[in-house]
């Protein structure tokens, strides 16, 4: 398995682990020292998952599904990489836009900030490792 496929696989595992924490121990994530540090540093609010448990559990389900998608894509080969790159790039862009537009109204929170940073770093790493190149580019490189 290539380095980019390993990164995609590990991203999937971490997403599934996050979903488990979001479901069974959300306080560990939402009210962690790291969340409090982000709150003090940026001013973004700390989300309270116990106030909206249905939303929190729905979000955890989505994170788990995305994680499983990453795991499956990591085994699917070069053809899936560009889709995974596009998905993560879109998540990074939309999260950063949300952070910019919803700073004052409380919609964006410390978890949104963390997601924005993580998705941006992941997108850059995927780009650097060649995931943004289509499968045909990878096949052409192998043929030469």
Residue 50 is classified by DSSP as: G
Model pLDDT for residues 37-95, shown as the tens digit of each residue: 999 999 999 988 888 778 888 989 999 999 999 999 999 989 899 999 999 999 999 99
pLDDT digits (tens, 9 = 90+) for 2-46: 999 999 999 999 999 999 999 999 888 889 999 999 999 999 999
Task: For residue 105, name the pLDDT band (cuts at 50, 70, 90).
Answer: confident
Name which of 11, 135, 15, 142 is nearest 77 in CA terms. Answer: 135
Return the number of other C-beta atoms located less than 10 Å from residue 11's C-beta. 23
Q: What is the dihedral of CA 125, 73, 93, 28, to 10 degrees?
A: -90
Alpha-carbon dihedral of residues 78, 80, 83, 84, nearest 10 degrees? -90
Look at residue 136 and tell me whether its pLDDT is greater than 60. no
Residue 139 — very low, low, confident or very high, per pLDDT cuts 50/70/90? Answer: very low
pTM assigned to the model: 0.84
Give the domain range for residue 8. Answer: 3-143
DSSP string covering 26-44: HHHHHTSHHHHHHHHHH-P
Domain count, the chain: 1
């Amino acid at each position: 398995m290539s380095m980019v496929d390993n990164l995609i696989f590990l991203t999937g595992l971490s997403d599934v682990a996050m979903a488990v924490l979001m479901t069974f121990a959300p306080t560990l994530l939402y009210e962690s020292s790291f969340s409090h540090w982000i709150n003090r540093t940026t001013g973004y609010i700390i989300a309270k998952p116990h106030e909206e448990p249905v939303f929190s559990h729905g979000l955890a389900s989505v994170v788990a599904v995305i994680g499983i998608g990453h795991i499956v894509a990591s085994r699917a080969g070069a053809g899936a990489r560009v889709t995974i790159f596009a998905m993560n790039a879109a998540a990074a862009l939309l999260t950063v836009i949300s952070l910019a537009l919803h700073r004052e109204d409380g919609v964006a929170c410390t978890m949104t900030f963390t997601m924005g940073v993580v998705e941006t770093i992941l997108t850059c790493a995927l780009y650097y490792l060649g995931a943004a190149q289509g499968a045909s580019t990878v096949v052409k490189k192998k043929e030469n």
